[in-house]
Chains A and B, each alone.
Chain A
Amino acid sequence: MVPAGNPLLDNLRIEPTPGATTLVIFGASGDLTRRKLLPALHTLSRGQRLPARFAVVGIGRTELSDDDFRQQFRESLREHAEVTGDDDVVRSLEGRLSYICGDTGDPALYERLAERLKEIGGADGVLYYLAIPPGVYSTVVERLGAAGLAGTPGRGWRRVIVEKPFGTDLASARALNELLHRHFEEDQIFRIDHYLGKETVQNLLVLRFANGMFEPIWNRRYIDHVQITAAETVGVEGRAAYYEGAGALRDMVQNHLMQLLALVAMEPPVEFSAGTVRDRKMDALKAVQPVSLEGENADAVRAQYRAGWVERREVPGYRSEPGVGVESTTETYVALRLRLDNWRWAGVPFYLRTGKRLPKRTTEIAIQFHRPPLEIFRRVSPTPLMSNLLVINVQPDEGISMRFDAKIPGTRMQVAPVMMNFRYGTTFPGEVPEAYETLLLDAMLGDATLFARHDFVETSWALVTPVHEAWEEHGDTSIPGYEAGEWGPQEADSLIARDGRRWRTL
């Protein structure tokens, strides 16, 4: 009888590693594999986070030999991980890489994959990573199922990582989930949203539920409103073909921003486990009311960037980007006002905004508290008092800031707002793991806490799809504009100004 647990893992400072695993990457010669996956594997290996028995099987249409794939691995480390040396860890890891060239629609490819898995020596766990265009998901999943490679054998496991987008609307998301569920159980499916792998996003759970001081005031009695911002300075960057079919609403709001909203709004889970955390996030999402699209009081604004100046240079408007139609109405900016109908959040608006070609690359959650009920310093303070603010910086300067009022030193009673800042990089120096490292490892360990569940995906699409459809039905080619380098269109300012508030200038 084999002892079930590993007695040497007790309180080991190096965190537990997964059991024997073979990672099968579909799209192994692609950009995601080069930029993210291979560097992440190297970092995990260097940190002893990979299992003793570990192998990678790359699958792609590009004709590569095993040696070519290993060469690609070395190049990927050089270009994207600044690993220039040919150290022993690199050599040891690359010896575990192999490659199969083939068409994902060809059943013979899966026979060869089955043989390769057998040759590798009966790895207990197989993790399929679909680093391929969403249009090919169905083919790969169907073929894996037909070849008997999706089912969980004896003591082993089979899991699949799916990259976003998880559909393009509610119907396609449901279809994708149905397809996946035909061959994989939900606990085998890991829908990756790299935002959830970021340290600050995980720290949001710690901030809220490991401290006693925040939760009592985390509700409508003390919070005035919440602003969630995900701003990019880049344009479509050669991704026009994808972006024209997506737009900011589907590219950013449906997944990343909804995940952030759920983490802010969720009730405390009774334990830190995948099921409970995701249940509470779902409760929060279910409380979000349909977005009002009524005329001038619509709670959704879309816009598209025009030519402007950003990142110290002049940039063209969206419609002048290569691959974008001159009459394109694809939105590059979205602002939403969301209402959550539950006891905690009734009457507290959540304002979400995201856009490309904004002045700064930054993602943050700002919790704006109510003003004090009585402003006893109003007569002596030269400036209006400001309400307290808690800002969670997700990127690029991960950290938390709190704004409160303080007396300006001097003989007069003058009050001014000050910020108290916590920055990860200063308090916890050292390398912060890349989101893909965290998420790859979690998938190997079978921990789905930081992955999107099917019901979350569908509920999120159910909120977003009517907005998108309404915009589609609008039909004409007019869409509000904003200059590249501005903080969005006038219409977004009006959306929040209707409530007597304004966006934070970041």
Chain B
Amino acid sequence: MENIVKTGTPTRARAATLVTVGPPARLAEAAGVLAEADEAGSLRHVLISTTGEDVPDVEGLQDVTVENVRPQFLNNAVAALRLSSLPTVVWWRGGPPDRLPAVATLADRVLLDAEDSLPLWRQAPALFGRTALTDFRWARLTRWRGVMALLFDLPQVREAAPDFQRLRITGNDPAQCALFAGWLASSLDWQGRVAVELERAGASASLSKVELDGPSASLQLALHRNGACLTTEARVNGDVLTSRVLSLGSQALPSLLSEELRVRSRDIPFERALQQMAS
């Protein structure tokens, strides 16, 4: 049993081709993120500039870079560089929104990460059956959703849920706030019963507070002053049912990218939240 040819230290198995699409500045930022992401070593990287400008040098990454490709041929570039033996993940950091469907069709997974999500979200429902698509704004909501779900584990909260009347969300990213509202409305099947107020706050946090109120119960999630935790409180009939401080987890781009790369299948709650927003 001993005459084994030593193959040396095992190299990282390639788990996917990650195609990053965007303008050069956003690609440069992505390169920095990739260098820090846990999964970087297991990815085959392809960077595609959407403006015809040079793709910045990315030290330490084994990349294929594509420059000077006209927007209408973005999908051709992806088609040429994807491998049938690896899942293809497209990280969309910018580019003409109308090219998204053609690119998405070639991908097993699409991570939307544009500065303005709304034009992409309008196109997204038509793509749900063709690829697994989510948005980084959704990834930033994971912990918030988890904490809200924790409160709904309490039978008293679930009992009071049909009577909630008002949802108030505060943050400086209206799209992200609306997405959270869309998730709650679709998950709890509000059908317009609950008044939703989105308040844009001047603080730096994309989402800083969620308040859900009814005659007998109120729930509150708020970003802790340290920015790294969430404070939660559930009141039922005036009594504090629970009050906790919970970690928000890392909201840094490398962590979010790692989280998104672990998702390989359709995210139905995200799809429902977007459809809820559209309605």
Cβ of B205 < 8 Å from any Cβ of A? no
Per DSSP, chain B at the interface is: mixed
Using CB atoms and an 8 Å cutoff, list the residues of chain A in contact with chain B.
1-3, 6-14, 17, 19-20, 45-48, 51-53, 87-89, 91-92, 155, 383, 386, 389, 403, 406, 408, 416-419, 421-423, 426-427, 429-430, 502, 504-505
**A381 CB, nearest partner CB in chain B, Å:** 11
Residues of B near A155 (CB, < 8 A) are: 155
Contact assessment for A386 and B1 in the assembled complex, using a CB-CB cutoff below 8 Å:
yes
Q: Are B269 and A52 in contact (CB under 8 A)?
A: no
- A-B CB contact pairs (8 Å), 5 listed: A7-B188, A10-B269, A11-B268, A48-B150, A416-B5
Q: Cα distance A391–B152 when bound, in Å?
A: 44
Known: A8-B149, A20-B154, A48-B146. A92 touches B246 (CB 8 A): yes
Interface bits B230-256 vs A (CB < 8 Å: 1, else 0):
001010000001101111010000000
- Give the chain B neighbours of A19 by CB distance below 8 A: 153
Known: A88-B226, A426-B13, A427-B15. A386 touches B146 (CB 8 A): no
Task: Find B142's partner among A6, A14, A20, A408 (CB 8 Å cutoff).
Answer: A14
B residues near A7, Cβ cutoff 8 Å? 152, 187-189
Task: Tally B residues with Cβ within 8 Å of A.
Answer: 54
Q: Are A9 and B2 in contact (CB under 8 A)?
A: no
- Measured in the bound complex, the distance between the Cα atoms of B4 and A387 in whole Å is 11
Q: Which 8 A-B pairs have the closest CB atoms?
A: A14-B146, A429-B38, A8-B149, A92-B245, A421-B10, A88-B245, A52-B242, A2-B159
**Contact of B39 with A by CB under 8 A:** yes
Identify 17 new A-B residue pairs, CB closer than 8 A, beyond the known A48-B150, A429-B39. A2-B158, A3-B159, A3-B161, A7-B152, A9-B152, A12-B145, A12-B149, A13-B146, A19-B153, A20-B154, A52-B151, A52-B153, A408-B5, A417-B4, A419-B7, A427-B13, A429-B38
A8 contacts B148, C-beta separation under 8 Å? yes
A51 to B228, CA, bound (A): 20
**CB atoms of B147 and A389 under 8 A apart:** no
The complex places the Cα of A67 from the Cα of B41 at a distance, in Å, of 46
Residue B259 CB within 8 A of the other chain: yes
Give the distance in Å from the alpha carbon of A48 to the alpha carbon of B245 in the complex.
10
Q: Does B143 contact A (CB under 8 A)?
A: yes
Specify which chain A residues have a CB less than 8 angstroms from the CB of B268 in the assembled complex.
10-11
Q: Which residues of A contact B2 (CB under 8 A)?
A: 505
Asked whether A48 and B13 contact (CB < 8 A) given A11-B268, A14-B142, A416-B3, the answer is: no
Closest chain-B Cβ to A11's Cβ sits at a distance in Å of: 5
Which B-chain residue is minimally distant from A397 (CB atoms)? B10
Are A426 and B10 closer than 8 Å at their CB atoms?
Answer: yes
Nearest CB on B from A165, distance (A): 34
B247 pairs with A418, CB closer than 8 A: no
Contacts A51-B153, A427-B15, A427-B42 given: A13-B226 contact, CB under 8 Å?
no
Q: A14-B145, A89-B247, A421-B10 are in contact. Are A8 and B152 (CB under 8 A)?
A: yes
Contacts between the two chains (Cβ within 8 Å), count? 135
B229 within 8 A of A: yes
Residues of B within 8 A of A383 (CB): 3
Given A7-B188, A91-B245, A13:B259 Cβ within 8 A: yes
A403 closest partner in B (C-beta): B4
B200 interface contact, C-beta 8 A:
no
Task: Report Cα–Cα, A7/B149, bound state, in Å.
Answer: 8
Distance A52 CA – B143 CA, assembled complex (angstroms): 14
Q: Compute how far the CA of A87 lies from the CA of B1 in the bound complex, rounded to whole angstroms.
A: 51
Do A89 and B188 touch (CB < 8 A)? no
Question: Hey, which chain B residues are within 8 Å of A3, CB to CB?
Answer: 158-159, 161
Q: How far is the CB of B18 from chain A (nearest CB, A)?
A: 15
**Partner pick for B150 among A2, A52, A92, A430, CB 8 A cutoff:** A52
- B57 is an interface residue with CB less than 8 A from chain A: no
Q: Is the CB of B10 within 8 A of A423?
A: yes
Interchain CA distance A46-B147 in the complex, whole Å: 12
A250 CB → nearest B CB, Å: 30
- Inter-subunit contact B147/A11 (CB<8 Å): no
In Å, the complex CA distance between A133 and B268 comes to: 48
CA gap between A505 and B232 in the complex, in Å: 55
Chain A: which residue is nearest B2 at the CB level? A505
Residues of A within 8 A of B1 (CB): 386, 389, 502, 504-505
Which of chain A's residues have a CB closer than 8 A to the CB of B143?
Answer: 14, 48
- Known contacts being A8-B145, A429-B38, is A17 close to B244, with CB within 8 Å? no
B128-174 at interface with A (beta carbon < 8 Å): 142-143, 145-155, 158-159, 161
C-alpha spacing A386/B22, complex, angstroms: 51
List the A side residues contacting B232 at CB < 8 Å. 52
At the interface, yes or no: B263 with Cβ under 8 Å from chain A? yes
A48 CA / B144 CA spacing, docked (Å): 11
Query: Which residues on the B side are within 8 Å of A386 (C-beta)?
Result: 1, 3
CB A148 to nearest CB in B, in angstroms, measures: 23
